[in-house]
Structure 1
Amino acid sequence: MRPERLAILDWSAANRPRQGKDSIWLGLSDGTASNPRTRALAFEALATLVEETLTRGETLLIGADFPFGYPAGFARALTGRDGALAVWGWLAAQLTDGPDNRSNRIELAARINGMLPGFGPFWFNPTRQGFAALPHKGSQRAGHGFPEHRLADATAKGAQSPWKLGGAGAVGSQALTGIAMLERLRRAFPGRVAVWPFEPLTAPVILAEVFPSILAPEVNARLGPGVVKDQVQVTLLARALHALPSLGPLLETPPDPRIADEGWILGLGHEMALRAGL
């Protein structure tokens, strides 16, 4: 399996329009990249990319740099159903994200905490608004009953817990806003978009979780004055994936039932193969 087009999305949950460092970057396998100022503009860019792909009768893989699922058991606790896509639908219905980049992600995380046992699992409040159900520190959490990391997070060096909403390296806010956005993209093209590893890959467009830091040494070697690391990460990973003769080996996941809830990172365990194409 080798898609004709490949794009890598580096996401941001910033609460205002932003470009440059720590913002949204969309890199293509031809080496080009765009830097949408808002999540709304990023959605438009992705929708255009999908529409162009379908019009051409081609195939496309979009890799997104945020968790596609949460530690096992969360989906059933939140929605009453197993499987990560149940959480996708729930978040798409509950998360608001305006054209000015303002979202209710922190309020929503606090609301989810309030629906679950104990104190947590989400934590960190970067706003000035207090939420009784949202701990400021991870060490304050207790009794929520969920693992801190997914299987993939524990395997990928440097990956952080999806429960952490802010601070250095945090991915929790990116997951909340990013999952809701990708679910909207799925619904905009019914039957034409499949989510790996949760669905059969029979659609022309595939969404997959990626971790650009998987190529950290190669990325760092290309940095210099005026070079944005995020831009290098997305274009380099897109190029590395597109250079492979087949993505088949990368699409195989460990035989672990937790993956239906948690997802997996494309390319994890195949770093040498990715580096060979650079």
Structure 2
Amino acid sequence: MSRWQTFAMVDWSGGNDRGPKPCKDAIWACVVRERAAEEPVYLRNRQLAEDWLSGLVEGELTAGRRLFLGFDFPFGYPAGFAQALTGSEDPLNLWDWFEDRIDDSPKSNNRFDLAGKINRRFGGQGPFWANGLKRDIDGLPRNKATYSNPFPDRRAVEHLAKGSFTCWQMAGAGAVGSQVMMGLPVLARLRRRFAGQVAAWPFEPLDKPVALIEIWPSLTLGQPPAGFIKDAWQVQQVALELCRRPVAEQERLLNVHAPEEGWILGVEPQ
């Protein structure tokens, strides 16, 4: 029997409120409970998403069900970054560091300014790049013409995951840098709100009722059927696929050692 009864997957967004009409490139989530899939949920901004996530975790804990909760953004940065920024290699300290410094509202946030501030600390031309705002930001290059990264460009897992983007790119098609910076504070608050009930993979033993897991839906899924929003379809399919895997296969996928950088579930270590 699987150690989890509920699987929930979340497709995250680093941008602003997407409006009332369900659309692509927004936050989508789907819950599969006891192998039965619910309809995907459209969450127009991170504030609504965080409330939804808190309600989900609280509900599953109250019901005595163990929850596998996946997010489609990196849980860590390339080796050396956390130590240089926080004085500790522990990526969970880095989560708290961002939570302390990110200002977020449905219509605006400070992610690009914070990226520029971090860059200035390391000389002003990296590690972050791609300013997505119209105004210039001191220290945050718009492109790689003058870019210089004092840290590895990729995590170990990203060398194995074909098509993956680096944590450093803050804007542009497919970029995940904004998702990471705007997602880690939410995970930090979930860990604090449900202290002692949440474990973050692969940094902690999965011996708590709730497991936070890094996923990448596009790793195994193609295009959705006609008429489906890709993000909504993918979170449902990933949740269904994971819950249907044999227990031994679930455990094998989680048997990864990456204590600083994190890992993408499903990428085979070499």
Q: TM-score range by the shorter chain?
A: over 0.9
Aligned counterpart, 1:177: 182
Contact residue 8 and residue 237 of structure 1 kept, 8 A:
yes
Q: For residue 252 of structure 1, report the CA deviation from its aligned partner.
A: 0.9
Do the aligned partners of 2:116 and 2:124 also contact (CA within 8 Å) in 1? no
Structure 1 residue 103 and structure 2 residue 109: aligned?
yes
Equivalent residues in 2 for 1:39-78, closer than 5 Å = 39-78=46-85
Contact 1:8–1:63 under 8 Å retained in 2: yes
Superposed displacement of residue 2, structure 1: 3.0
1:138 and 1:180 map into 2 onto residues whose CA distance is: 27
How far 1:101 moved relative to its partner?
4.1
Report the equivalent of 1:26: 29
Read off the aligned partner of 1:52 and give its amino acid letter.
G
> What does residue 116 of structure 1 align with?
122
State the SS of the aligned residue for 1:231: helix
Normalising by structure 1, report the TM-score.
0.90
Summarize deviations over 1:19-61 as a string: whole Å, max 9, x none: 4111000012233210011100000111011001110111001
Corresponding residue for residue 261 of structure 1: 260
Matches within 5 A, 1:105-254: 105-117=111-123, 119-142=125-148, 144-217=149-222, 220=223, 222-224=224-226, 226-246=227-247, 247-254=250-257
Task: State how far apart, in whole Å, the 2-side matches of 1:152 and 1:115 are.
Answer: 27
Query: SS at 1:261's partner residue?
Result: coil
Describe the superposition over 1:67-117 as per-residue Cα deviations: whole angstroms up to 9, x where unpaired.
Answer: 10000000001001112112101001000111x242111111111111124
Q: Is the 8 A contact 2:16 2:45 kept in 1?
A: no
More helix by share: 1
Q: Which residue of 2 aligns with 1:89?
A: 96
> Is the Cα contact below 8 Å between 1:40 and 1:101 reproduced in 2?
no
Relative to the length of structure 2, the TM-score reads 0.92
- Note if contact 1:17-1:101 (Cα within 8 Å) is conserved in structure 2: no
CA contact (8 A) 2:122 2:150 kept: no
Quote the Cα distance in structure 2 between the aligned partners of 1:209 and 1:202. Answer: 17
CA distance in 1: counterparts of 2:242 and 2:127, whole angstroms: 34
C-alpha deviation, 1:216, in angstroms? 2.5
User: Structure 1: 5+ residue runs without aligned partners?
Assistant: 271-278
CA distance in 2, matches of 1:229, 1:2: 29
CA RMSD of aligned residues (A): 1.5
In structure 1, what residue type is equivalent to 2:31?
Answer: L
Q: CA deviation at 1:206?
A: 0.5
8 Å Cα contact 2:30-2:236 kept in structure 1: yes
| Runs of at least 5 residues in structure 2 that lack an aligned partner in the other structure | none
> 1:4 aligns to what?
5
Identity %: 42
> Are the equivalent residues in 1 in contact too, given 2:154–2:166 (CA < 8 A)?
yes
SS class of match (2:166): coil
Read off the aligned partner of 2:137 and give its amino acid letter.
Answer: F
Deviation at 1:260, TM superposition (A): 1.8
Q: State the aligned residue count.
A: 260
CA spacing shift, 1:139–1:150, aligned 2, 3 Å: farther
| Letter of the structure 2 residue corresponding to residue 10 of structure 1 | D
Give, in whole Å, the separation in 1 of the partners of 2:29 and 2:254: 22
| Aligned partners of 2:79 and 2:151 also within 8 Å | yes
| Residue pair 1:8, 1:238 contacting (<8 A) in 2 also | yes
Q: Residues of 2 paired with 1:16 and 1:133: CA distance?
A: 26
